[in-house]
A and B are shown apart, each in its own frame.
Chain A
Amino acid sequence: DIQLTQSPSFLSASVGDRVTITCRASQGIRSYLAWYQQKPGTAPKLLIYATSTLQSGVPPRFSGSGSGTEFTLTISSLQPEDFATYYCQQLNNYPITFGQGTRLEIK
């Protein structure tokens, strides 16, 4: 199985900050990576797929990049509604796997 390791696991930041979350794969996954946002008590929401394609309706302050084994999710200017847990997911190999999550909290 491909292991996905997100860093950091916990991030404290302020409104307006630029933040980056990294997802490292245990082997190459080409560009088959997605990012989700999950708020407490709600289902995950797809933000980005195919590494950098923004899902319809997702604000452009979210962006994704990377290839191979290292990928990043960047939020250019944090908004109050962005404080949540973020997960990466690889789609290159079965079984499909998720990272352990990055919890983003208000400083």
Chain B
Amino acid sequence: QLQLQESGPGLVKPSETLSLRCTVSRGSISSSSYYWGWIRQPPGKALEWIGSIYYSGSTYYNPSLKSRVTISVATSRNQFSLKVNSVTAADTALYYCARIKVGAADNWGQGTLVTVSS
């Protein structure tokens, strides 16, 4: 069964860069059938699509975050990553990585809480 695991700092200072990694196991990130994405959920709120990437490196970003977000892929390590620049308290959220099939996220990591605070 495919597994995804997020990793990265749980606390980031305002104006700094949030960096998370998603490690994919029991499956290949280089599969031509899937995209890989990041989705976040502020505490007690709804889900927000951040962006997604194909193993070739082509990306889609949510325009609301596009100027601050970079998603990259490392196929040799079966990982993909998220960077969000210039964070504020509004970026505090549970961050999930997921496998994307026909646009829907069919496998999710457990999520990692990132708090933006000084």
A interface residues with partner B (beta carbon < 8 Å): 32, 34, 36, 42-46, 49-50, 55, 87, 89, 91, 94-101
B105 near A44 with CB under 8 A, answer: yes
Report A11 CB to chain B, min CB distance, Å.
16
- Return the chain A residue nearest B63 by Cβ: A95
Q: Quick one: which of B63-118 are within 8 Å of A by CB?
A: 63-64, 96, 101-106, 108-111
B residues in contact with A94, CB < 8 Å? 60, 63
- Considering the chains assembled together, what is the distance between the CA atoms of A50 and B106 in angstroms? 12
Identify 16 new A-B residue pairs, CB closer than 8 A, beyond the known A32-B103, A87-B47, A95-B63.
A34-B103, A42-B110, A43-B109, A44-B96, A44-B108, A49-B102, A49-B104, A89-B49, A91-B102, A91-B103, A95-B49, A95-B64, A98-B47, A98-B48, A100-B46, A101-B46
Contact B62 A34 (CB under 8 A): no
Q: Are A96 and B49 in contact (CB under 8 A)?
A: yes
* Residue among B49, B96, B101 making CB contact with A43, cutoff 8 Å: B96
Contact count band on B: 10 to 19
On chain A, the residues within 8 Å of B47 by CB distance are 36, 44, 87, 89, 98
Which residues of A have CB within 8 Å of B60?
94
Cα distance A95–B62 when bound, in Å?
5
CA gap between A30 and B1 in the complex, in Å:
31
Q: How far is the CB of A53 from chain B (nearest CB, A)?
A: 9
In the A-B complex, list the 3 residue pairs whose CB atoms are closest, starting with the nearest. Answer: A91-B103, A43-B108, A34-B104
- Residues of B within 8 Å of A32, CB to CB, are 103
Interface residues of B in 12-69 (CB under 8 A from A): 46-49, 60, 62-64
Q: A55 and B106: CB pair below 8 A? A: yes
28 contacts between A and B (CB under 8 A): A32-B103, A34-B104, A43-B96, A43-B108, A43-B111, A44-B47, A44-B96, A44-B105, A45-B108, A46-B105, A46-B106, A49-B101, A49-B102, A49-B106, A50-B102, A87-B46, A87-B47, A89-B104, A91-B104, A94-B63, A95-B49, A95-B62, A96-B62, A96-B103, A97-B49, A98-B46, A98-B49, A100-B46
